[in-house]
Amino acid sequence: MAQLFFRYGTMNSGKSLQLLAVKHNYEEKGGRVLLLTSALDDRAGVGIVKTRLGIKSEAIAIKSEDNVLDIITDHKYYDKGKLDCDCVLVDEAEFLTPDQIEQLWSVVVHCDTPVICYGLKTDFTGHLFDGSKRLLELADKIEEIKTVCEKCDRKATMNLRTVDGKAVYEGDQVQIGDSEYHAVCSYHHVNWEE
């Protein structure tokens, strides 16, 4: 029986790298994978999943107004009420709406196809993203992708945003970026300058 997975980690924890490795492993064995990502993440271009190592793959970009079920049923892997693929992989799942997460859950339940979502659990203030919250509520399996704090050897559990090297604790929840975000432990989230 298929399951919904949520694999989360901080910035720089290798989420996209793991996702593309899973995709490669399925395809290496002749499997079919449907790759989705949030259209909000345009760092490498809309509809591109790219790792910091430079490995990348095209994906279907999901906008906040999209119905994921419509996108899946319009795809070449969908035929006569069946999804003919081995796995659905989703990058930047935190940016999806709760309704879109429920639609992915429906794919698991009604198409018996595993869906593996990768993303951040919380924002730079420590609050859950809406998509992540719904994943935590619905996922059959929740797995943490671990990395270490940029300032010490403790486990990184928080995402810190900086502007001109100074920690920022207020602002819009979604601001796409890269080098201004840091994976840190709780202590260094509060004490970045130390």
Residue 193 lies in a domain: no
171 pLDDT above the threshold of 90: no
Binding residues: 9-16, 149, 152, 174-177, 181, 185, 188
Residue 72 lies in a domain: yes
pTM over 0.85: yes
Which CATH number do you get for residue 112?
3.40.50.300
Q: How many Å apart are CA 58 and CA 110, to the nearest integer?
A: 26
83, 94 Cβ separation under 8 angstroms: no
Q: Which residues are known to be catalytic?
A: 92
161, 128 Cβ separation under 8 angstroms: no
- Give me the pLDDT at residue 174, please: 67
Q: How many Å apart are CA 164 and CA 191, to the nearest integer?
A: 16
Per-residue confidence at 175, pLDDT binned at 50, 70, 90? low
Q: Structural domain of residue 20, as residue ranges? A: 4-144
- Give me the pLDDT at residue 75, please: 76
Model confidence pLDDT, tens digit, residues 1-51: 899 999 999 998 999 999 999 999 999 999 999 999 999 888 777 888 988
3-state secondary structure of 27: helix
Report the share of the chain in percent with pLDDT over 90.
69
**Stretch (H or E) spanning 181:** strand 181-184
Binding residues for ATP: 9-16
**Sheet hosting strand 181-184, strand order edge to edge:** 166-168, 158-163, 181-184
Per-residue confidence at 125, pLDDT binned at 50, 70, 90? very high
User: What's the domain count of the chain?
Assistant: 1
